[in-house]
Chains A and B, each alone.
Chain A
């Protein structure tokens, strides 16, 4: 429904959607998978998911739920930023999705080395991840904002590629710091602050002294990464893209060796 020609949203963006408690039916559902929730439910979900995510870090679905229930304000700001930028506005219109079914893997593999497409594929292979493990949005009560958070989730692997960070806990924390500065989503801020809790002293030291300042610097300097139409930039050399965004090389620590 979101990939393809522009479909006008059923409700004017920005208008408060009346929340109908939990009695769902065909009406009240703004997008497939939408679960309307009351403010009380959102509060309980936010608290519960935060607690569960800390208790069991393998519950990635809880991190997603936390993002959806606490991110309304930040998502609106992001959406407005996207509207102001020509590339971002096009993304909002066209609603591209990144998944194994929408990516042309053969074409990406045939691209020259050092290009964004190649590096991205390489990243997926080396870290053994797939773009299809992103949970669909459920608790955002605005169709356009639901897409914005979905897009944010789907470009997460792109950010790993851009920053050159692996998917171990240290790499994830660095990307979270970058995302926190870029998006202002409470979930990212909480993840960035509480993620390091389980780290060893050595990793913590490296993180605090070198990696976090680097991530913050780059996060501030770079324009909003949601405004990049990655699907049009597969051929662009990664180095050139990094220069365009002002992203410097990561500090020379063996991020993979730690954590």
Chain B
């Protein structure tokens, strides 16, 4: 465990050196070299294409999501032409949860993954019950009556905890849950991905969809993910990634930078938040780099699958 942590710390230092705008803050000369070793770790990071201090970044990201919360789902549909729904469905089918799974959905604010999970296990549970019934053809009337009376959990013991650092996003999520009729098996927790308010070895699956990009210390979030998962537990991350096709990459860049902030301004009255969004996508590591970061946190059998030419990728790892 110690080797994992120190490896993660070292890779973080190496990675932070590659940040744009960062080189300018390194002092030069022999005096500067002494500064390097005495100073604490790098205190600057990126906020989109801006360089900000690490303390600032958390607050700025909070402010972004506070202002986009109300229009979050509408904008997702507009920006991705509804394709984000397919991506999230694919994440669930990859997860393939069975009734009884304990899921932690981090940065899950408005509940898209959580609701899909609940629907999925509900369907699974119904399927299981049907199969059971079919196998028991010769039931007496008493046994049938008992089956109807027993208040069996429709989710078969599954539970999902939605954890998010932003109160506004959680508020929207709770409203949606009420509107869609999700009640059982759902919990909402205000928490920081870098310091989760849960005990060790608690969950079967940990998901983070379009959230880890906004975390200031990604490696810490990964370590926390490792900590709260049970042995045998699975880490799944759905996130924007690097496009592999150069032509599509050009079109994607054009669309991202020319159209998306305009959409943000017209629909949500907020240019800057969506400018941050498209810039933060460019700052996130590539599929391979992120895979290495996940391995550094202690996960094994780490794989990734690129979707839509690499616009998004699903990374998966196991705590063994």
Contacts and interface: CB of A to CB of B under 8 A. Distances in A.
Band of interface residues on A: 20 to 34
A190 to B, nearest CB: 16
B235 to A, nearest CB: 33
Contact of B265 (A21, A25, A38, A45): A45
A44 B267 contact: no
Given A22-B257, A22-B258, A44-B259, A35 B266 contact: no
B31 to A, nearest CB: 27
Interface in B75-133: none
A52 B258 contact: no
Contact of B269 (A22, A38, A61): A61
Contacts of A25: 49-50
Given A21-B257, A22-B275, A23-B49, A44 B262 contact: yes
Contact of B262 (A21, A23, A24, A45): A45
Interface string A39-61: 01100110011011000000101
Contacts of A21: 257
A40 to B, nearest CB: 5
B49 A41 contact: no
A247 interface: no
Contacts of B271: 35, 138
Interface in B193-238: none
A62 interface: yes
B266 A52 contact: yes
A41 B262 contact: yes
Contacts of B263: 48
Nearest to B49: A23
A48 B49 contact: no
Contacts of B49: 23-25
Interface string B266-297: 11010110010000000000000000000000
A59 B269 contact: yes
Q: SS class of chain B's interface: helix, strand, loop or mixed?
A: helix
B173 interface: no
Contacts of A65: 265-266
Given A22-B258, A22-B261, A45 B275 contact: no
Interface in A9-40: 21-25, 35, 38, 40
Contacts of A51: 266
A43 to B, nearest CB: 9
Given A21-B257, A25-B49, A48 B269 contact: no
B258 A38 contact: yes
A76 B265 CA distance: 25
Contacts of B262: 41, 44-45, 48
A25 B269 CA distance: 21
Interface in B230-268: 257-259, 261-263, 265-267
Nearest to A21: B257
Contacts of A61: 269
B266 A40 contact: no
A51 B267 CA distance: 11
B257 A45 contact: no
A41 B258 contact: yes
Contacts of B275: 22, 24
Interface string A167-188: 0000000000000000000000
A51 to B, nearest CB: 8
Nearest to B279: A23
Interface in B38-78: 49-50
Given A22-B275, A23-B49, A25-B49, A40 B258 contact: yes
Nearest to B267: A52
A31 to B, nearest CB: 16
A48 B266 contact: yes
A44 B271 CA distance: 13
Nearest to B261: A22
Interface of A: 21-25, 35, 38, 40-41, 44-45, 48-49, 51-52, 59, 61-62, 65, 138
Given A25-B49, A48-B265, 15 more contacts: A22-B261, A23-B257, A24-B49, A24-B275, A25-B50, A38-B258, A41-B261, A41-B262, A44-B259, A45-B265, A45-B266, A48-B263, A49-B265, A61-B269, A138-B271
13 contacts: A21-B257, A22-B261, A23-B257, A24-B275, A35-B272, A41-B258, A41-B262, A44-B258, A48-B262, A49-B266, A52-B267, A65-B266, A138-B271
The 10 A-B pairs with the shortest beta carbon distances in the complex, nearest first, are: A48-B266, A44-B262, A22-B257, A52-B266, A40-B258, A45-B262, A61-B269, A41-B258, A41-B262, A49-B266
